[in-house]
Each structure stands twice: as structure tokens, then as C-alpha cells.
């Protein structure tokens, strides 16, 4: 894992922040396979090769980091794809959110082998809910591995952006079999309080495939994935204990953030309403509590790890593991 932090002060911050991320990514073994401009956005497509243990799943995947070429309008996105053709600038099997009952039964993705441009069909535009807000001055906290990228910006201080592999649980890996390709794009927001049971869903959490999902009308891509960022839901999945300094009130608890997949709660056939199954966890993110004085970038130490917090939302924060 590589963790970078610093400040950007620039009227065109997208290219500046991307250059910092690219340096870290290339040093880890990513390759830059394409640069393409679509409208006012610059897209930089990086490849994480799965060969020889390049990443945990042994699968090639692609990360499109895109941003306004000039200015800040629309923000910045970090979107994973299963396939990409640099010659034609089209992608295969990206994260998808628009409600649809069509699920390809070979790869269990939305469009199967059909390709689309980087901003067509996929969760990859400013209007789709996972754009990190840019301003002309901010501090960044970025963690990147060959599996995923996580980004926290003080210009968007309550949210962390995640693109790449989630860590699948064994039951999901077994059930998915050869169809397993656990890519997700999501925005994780600070929970609303100690009793919060909230989650990121619809357009703020999307996977590239749903192994085993049939074509029946009860499955919709827009609300069949949930990332539980709530205190209650996350702590149900286990917790880590550690000693924190002010403003973390002496003893800090950071719990993993689970990823669930299942059925639209408004549909009841075939399963009962709202059925969800745990499929994995987001890597190096956690949810926890903080005191009233917490601000973005505060840290808590657990073992040899330093965790950086989002801004406070009531008493809840999301943490990003650094070094």
C-alpha cells in the first residue's frame, strides 16, 4: 500500500492531483494505457495486471481517473472497469446503476461483452453521485494498492471515495465461482450518529457484476447493492479496538464496512422483501465514533496503523487507513 497526503492550491486542481496519484500508481506497478478527452473531462486509464500476483484476485482490471481539464466543475471520479480497449477508447463491464431487469447470464454483468465509452452507461459522470468535489485549495489523503484506490479530500470532507476490488467473503467467492470479479465504485459518507443504521446505495454504490443473479424482474441494478456505513450495521460485522488521542475520547473502535448484495426491498418475488447477503468488505476503510471536536484528517492509532478520519457527522466518522 502507498499512502500520500499533501495540499493542492491550483485553479485547475484535477491535473495536479492526478499527477500525484499517477506517480504512486506507476511505482506500484500500474501502467497508464490511455488518455482521452471527453467534453470538458480528461480521462486517465490505468491498468492493474493480475498476472504473477499483481493483485489479490489475479485479474486484470482498469481504473479510470477522470477530472475537469480546467476548473473544478463536476469534480473527480475513480471508476473501475473489468475490460478496456485503448485503441477504441471503450470499456467493458463497468459499475452500473440505472434500474434494469436485464442481467447477462454469462458474466452476470449489465451489458455482457457489449462495450461503451467511458461516460456512457457506467457510473462515471458528475450527475451519478460519486464525484469528489474539487475546489481551488484542499488537502488530500490517498491510499492506493494494486487492488483499489481510496480518496479523502478536505474539499469533500464528509466522504471517502473507493474504486477497485472489495475483499470478498469465502461464501461469496464459493458461490460466484469463475464469475467472481468483485469490483465496486462507491462513496462512503460519515454516518449520522451512534444509532445510525444507514448505508450507501443506489447511485453511491455500484458493482460491475452480480454473480448468480437471474433475469427476473425482482433484480434491479440501481438498488441491489448496499455498503453499510452506519455504526450499528458496521459493528455487527466485527470491530477492532485501539487507543486514540483527543478528540477520540481515549478509546477508539473502528469497524469494517460490509458490502451486501441482494434484492430491491420493494420487490418480494422470489425472496422476502429486502433480502441481502454479505458478499465482502471494503479494504482499509472503517467506521467509528468521534467526539465533538473531530475534524477531517484527525488520526487514531491501532497497532502500527494510523487511521485518518472524515469530518464529523453527529458522532460518526469514516476512517481511511494510512501507514
Tell whether 289 is covered by a domain: no
Phi/psi-derived region of residue 284, left when phi > 0, alpha when psi is between -120 and 50, beta in every other case: left
Tell whether 207 is covered by a domain: yes
Residue range 239-254: average pLDDT? 48
Tell whether 11 is covered by a domain: yes
CB 195 within 8 A of CB 202: no
Q: Which of 100-104, 182-186, 308-312 has the highest mean pLDDT?
A: 182-186
Find the domain containing 115 and state its range.
Answer: 2-232
Tell whether 237 is covered by a domain: no
* DSSP 3-state of 61: strand
Tell whether 165 is covered by a domain: yes
Cell of residue 35, nine digits: 488518455
Higher-confidence position of 106 and 193: 106
Tell whether 172 is covered by a domain: yes
**pLDDT at residue 187 above 90?**
yes
pLDDT given for residue 240 in this prediction? 42
pLDDT given for residue 317 in this prediction? 82
Q: Looking at the 3D structure of the chain, how many domains does it have?
A: 1
Residue range 258-285: average pLDDT? 72
Q: Which of 26-40, 104-118, 249-263 has the highest mean pLDDT?
A: 26-40
CB 244 within 8 A of CB 301: yes
Residue range 256-273: average pLDDT? 65
Tell whether 38 is covered by a domain: yes
Higher-confidence position of 228 and 93: 93
H/E stretch holding 232 reads helix 231-235
Looking only at the bridges linking them, the beta strands covering 183-189 and 167-168 are: unpaired
Residue range 166-193: average pLDDT? 90
Q: What share of the chain is helix, strand, coil (3-state, %, to 5)?
A: 15, 40, 45
pLDDT given for residue 112 in this prediction? 87
Mean pLDDT of the chain: 85
CB 270 within 8 A of CB 255: no
Give 59-64's long-range contacts (Cβ < 8 A, gap of 24+): 59/181, 61/164, 61/165, 61/181, 61/183, 62/33, 62/91, 63/25, 63/30, 63/149, 63/163, 63/164, 64/91, 64/118, 64/124
Tell whether 19 is covered by a domain: yes
**pLDDT at residue 266 above 70?**
no
Using the structure block, give the residue that is written with the C-alpha cell 454479505. 278
Amino acid at each position: 500500500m502507498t499512502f500520500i497526503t499533501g495540499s493542492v492550491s491550483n485553479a485547475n486542481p484535477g491535473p495536479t492531483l492526478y499527477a500525484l496519484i499517477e506517480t504512486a500508481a506507476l511505482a506500484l506497478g500500474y501502467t497508464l494505457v490511455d488518455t482521452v478527452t471527453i467534453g470538458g473531462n480528461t480521462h486517465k486509464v490505468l491498468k492493474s495486471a493480475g498476472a504473477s500476483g499483481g493483485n489479490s484476485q489475479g485479474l486484470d482490471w482498469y481504473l479510470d481517473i477522470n477530472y475537469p481539464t480546467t476548473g473544478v466543475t463536476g469534480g473527480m471520479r475513480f471508476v473501475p472497469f473489468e475490460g478496456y480497449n485503448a485503441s477504441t477508447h471503450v470499456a467493458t463491464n463497468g459499475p452500473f446503476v440505472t434500474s434494469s431487469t436485464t442481467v447477462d447470464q454469462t458474466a452476470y454483468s449489465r451489458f455482457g461483452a457489449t462495450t461503451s465509452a467511458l461516460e456512457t452507461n457506467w457510473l462515471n459522470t458528475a450527475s451519478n453521485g460519486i464525484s469528489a468535489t474539487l475546489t481551488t485549495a484542499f488537502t488530500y489523503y490517498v491510499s492506493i494498492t494494486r487492488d483499489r484506490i481510496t480518496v479523502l479530500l478536505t474539499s469533500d470532507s464528509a466522504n471517502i471515495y473507493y474504486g477497485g476490488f472489495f475483499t470478498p467473503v469465502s461464501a461469496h467467492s464459493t458461490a460466484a465461482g469463475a464469475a467472481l470479479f468483485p469490483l465496486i465504485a462507491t462513496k462512503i459518507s460519515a454516518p449520522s450518529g451512534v444509532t445510525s443504521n444507514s448505508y450507501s446505495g443506489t447511485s453511491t454504490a455500484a458493482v460491475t457484476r452480480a454473480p448468480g443473479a437471474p433475469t427476473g424482474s425482482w433484480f434491479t441494478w440501481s438498488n441491489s447493492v448496499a455498503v453499510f456505513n452506519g455504526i450499528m450495521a458496521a459493528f455487527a460485522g466485527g470491530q477492532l479496538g485501539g487507543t486514540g488521542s483527543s478528540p477520540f475520547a481515549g478509546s477508539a473502535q473502528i469497524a469494517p464496512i460490509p458490502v451486501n448484495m441482494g434484492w430491491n426491498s420493494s420487490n418480494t418475488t422470489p425472496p422476502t422483501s429486502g433480502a441481502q447477503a454479505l458478499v465482502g468488505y471494503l479494504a482499509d476503510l472503517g467506521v467509528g465514533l468521534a467526539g465533538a471536536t473531530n475534524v477531517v484528517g484527525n488520526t487514531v492509532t491501532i497497532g502500527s496503523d494510523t487511521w485518518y478520519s472524515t469530518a464529523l457527522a453527529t458522532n460518526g466518522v469514516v476512517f481511511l487507513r494510512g501507514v
